[in-house]
Homo-oligomer: A and B are copies of this chain.
Amino acid sequence: MKGFASDNYAGVHPEILAAIAAANDGSHARAYGADPWTARAQELVAQHFGADARSYLMFNGTGANVTAMRACCRPWEGVICANTAHVHVDEGGAPERMGGLKLLTTPTVDGKLTPQDVARLAVRVGDEHAVQARVVTVTQSTELGTLYTAPELGALADAAHERGLVLHVDGARLANAAAALGTGFREFTTDVGVDVVTFGATKNGALGVEAVVFLTPGLDEGFLYLRKQSMQLASKGRFLAAQVIALLEGDLWRRTASHANAMAARLAAGVVALPGVRVTQAVQANAVFAILPPAVTAALMEDWPFYVWDDHTGEVRWMCSWDTTEAEVDGFVAAIGAAVSV
């Protein structure tokens, strides 16, 4: 079974699995991240994000994002986000119940926040009856497969900083974004004023690890405690670190992400001219959103796993991953073409 359901349906990239095996070298390593692999991962993060970057490895995106936001907020502070943000709609209430965080949300057209949104939501400053905005969180690439440019993120960072807020980037697909932008990570994070990033390795080909990367010095005060308390501290930390090393030491992160992006572009190109298929979002990373006739969707799903994104509109999501092949894309395009022409 392979399909276009999610980039977390894919397995582990062989180079990453090899790195895990290599870290299992028969030695003992200090637990809880006090090991040489974790130190090496930190070095690589600093090479990619800048010398001040401080990284903390965690199990998954829920944990990484919620804990990163917890770190920035005092109890009366909250988080501005798009109402399509994963932290708002897909975390089972973890931000609220585990983090105590109120999310201040806004609709968007393309999943992207703007400085105007920040201005509109960061209000009632000093009013004890209102949660005080403290974090702006954006997803890069977004839940709708769109991208923020570096200047767009810079403008958001400025809008945040002017108000004493910080900018967090949920980078579950940060590598896809960097590959699409044709830059490294720091050009659209550190260099434009982003304060803290969640770098997602899992969808980038790892077995399972995410790094919270603090770019603004001091913002990570006490984060060691928070990570532990948030139940996100791995005992055999070397095996998390080995995955990050495998991705960041060479260009594996870019190879896997570029490939996934290219497959999405190929898919979009293949379907855009099909009758009855409307691509609904700009295809800028590794996702294609489209609206199909419901009967076509139902027929396709018998052979090709993917998700209906919006039951009301019939919008579907097709996600490509590091292991999606050209043949699979072409086969899927052909199947769609056949289904729409019935």
Contacts and interface: CB of A to CB of B under 8 A. Distances in A.
Interface string A140-165: 00000000000000000000000000
Nearest to A62: B231
Given A6-B31, A89-B130, A97-B229, A236 B24 contact: no
Contacts of A311: 123
A132 B225 contact: yes
A102 interface: yes
B31 A11 contact: no
Number of copies: 4
A258 to B, nearest CB: 20
A91 interface: yes
Interface stretch (A39-47, A71-79, A267-275, A286-294): A71-79
A208 interface: yes
Contacts of A203: 235
Majority secondary structure, A binding face = loop
Nearest to A24: B11
Contacts of A28: 1-3, 5, 9-11, 305, 321, 323
| Interface size class of chain A, counting residues whose CB lies under 8 Å from the partner chain | 35 or more
Contact of A128 (B8, B9, B233): B233
A235 B231 CA distance: 16
Interface string A307-326: 00001000000000101000
Contact of A11 (B25, B61, B62): B25
A256 to B, nearest CB: 14
Interface string A64-105: 001100100011101000000000011111111110111001
A96 B101 contact: yes
Given A31-B9, A229-B93, A236 B222 contact: no
A266 interface: no
A9 B29 contact: yes
A224 B128 contact: yes
Given A17-B21, A128-B228, A12 B93 contact: no
Identify the 4 closest CB pairs spanning chains A and B, nearest first.
A76-B225, A97-B100, A92-B228, A8-B235
